[in-house]
């Protein structure tokens, strides 16, 4: 095989692995998302510009709509836990018990493909010993209707918070208790 054949093969593999972006249309607070055979109708209920301490990545969650299913703590709550003397960042295995009552489930739906690289990096960091911090900007949505090939399907509204994310940033790869206290102003 010559060099061009390897290059063509690598390009084809890369294109095959890239998932096409969902088609998202907005009309006021009504949002329609179409991806493959799925169609989701949602309603924007609140603007989101929040930082979260990422505690778990639910790799088993595949509802056909969301790009990621995560468990996290809003950063202000994480700071409050630190002030209370609950240092859950030292041992991730035992810290899960400390944070479980303050954690929330979030389903992220991306409005652009550039966020997917950031998500992949955060997933890798979350599997390690540290807690990464992400910042999400977008809209919290309430799901009105979800279908797959015109058949009603289930989508996790409560207890999960669903966010249509315009921007996702990795704020910090490793968050320490000192930084939590500084961020929360304590």
Q: What is the pLDDT of residues 102-136, one digit of tens each?
A: 789 999 998 887 787 888 888 888 777 778 889 99
User: Would you say residue 92 lies in a domain?
Assistant: yes
Q: At CA 161, angle to CA 155 and CA 144, rounded to 5?
A: 45
User: Would you say residue 96 lies in a domain?
Assistant: yes
As a whole number of Å, the CA-based R_g of the chain is 19
Could you list the residue range(s) of the whole structural domain that residue 142 is in? 22-183
The reported pLDDT for the residue numbered 62 is: 58
Cα end-to-end span (Å), the chain: 62
User: Would you say residue 169 lies in a domain?
Assistant: yes
User: Would you say residue 48 lies in a domain?
Assistant: yes
Q: pTM for the complete prediction?
A: 0.74
User: Would you say residue 118 lies in a domain?
Assistant: yes
Structure tokens at 17: 């692995």
**How many structural domains is the chain composed of?**
1
39-62 in b/e form (b: 16+ CB < 10 A) is bbebebeeebebbbbbbbbeeeee
Half-sphere exposure of 139 (CA within 13 A, CB side): 14
pLDDT beneath 70, residues of the chain: 1-21, 59-64, 79-100, 155-158, 176-186
The reported pLDDT for the residue numbered 10 is: 41
The reported pLDDT for the residue numbered 61 is: 54
The reported pLDDT for the residue numbered 87 is: 56
User: Would you say residue 105 lies in a domain?
Assistant: yes
Q: Within a 10 A sphere around the Cβ of 35, how many other Cβ atoms? A: 17
User: Would you say residue 135 lies in a domain?
Assistant: yes
The reported pLDDT for the residue numbered 43 is: 95
Per residue, what are the HEC states of the chain? CCHHHHHHHHHHHHHHHCCCCCEEEEECCEEEEEECCEEEEEEEEEEEEEEEEEEEECCCCCCCCCCEEEEEEEHHHHHHHHHCCCCCCCCHHHHHHHHCCCCEEEEEEECCCCHHHHHHHHHHHHHCCCCCEEEEEEEEEEEEEEEECCEECCCCCCCCEEEEEEEEEEEECCCCHHHHHHHCCC
């Amino acid at each position: 095989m010559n060099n061009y054949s390897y290059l063509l093969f690598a390009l084809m593999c890369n294109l095959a692995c890239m998932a096409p972006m969902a088609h998202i249309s907005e009309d006021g607070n009504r949002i329609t998302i179409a991806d493959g055979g799925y169609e989701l109708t949602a309603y924007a209920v609140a603007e989101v510009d929040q930082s979260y301490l990422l505690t778990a990545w639910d790799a088993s969650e595949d509802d056909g709509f969301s790009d990621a299913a995560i468990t996290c703590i809003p950063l202000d709550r994480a700071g409050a836990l630190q002030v209370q003397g609950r240092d859950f960042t030292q041992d991730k295995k035992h810290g899960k018990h400390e944070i479980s009552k303050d954690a929330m489930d979030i389903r992220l739906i991306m409005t652009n493909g550039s966020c997917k690289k950031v998500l992949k990096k955060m997933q890798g960091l979350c599997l390690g010993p540290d807690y990464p911090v992400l910042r999400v900007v977008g809209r919290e949505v309430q799901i009105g209707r979800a279908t797959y090939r015109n058949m009603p399907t289930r989508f996790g509204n409560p207890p999960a918070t669903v966010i249509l994310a315009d921007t996702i940033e990795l704020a910090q790869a490793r968050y320490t208790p000192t930084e939590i206290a500084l961020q929360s102003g304590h």
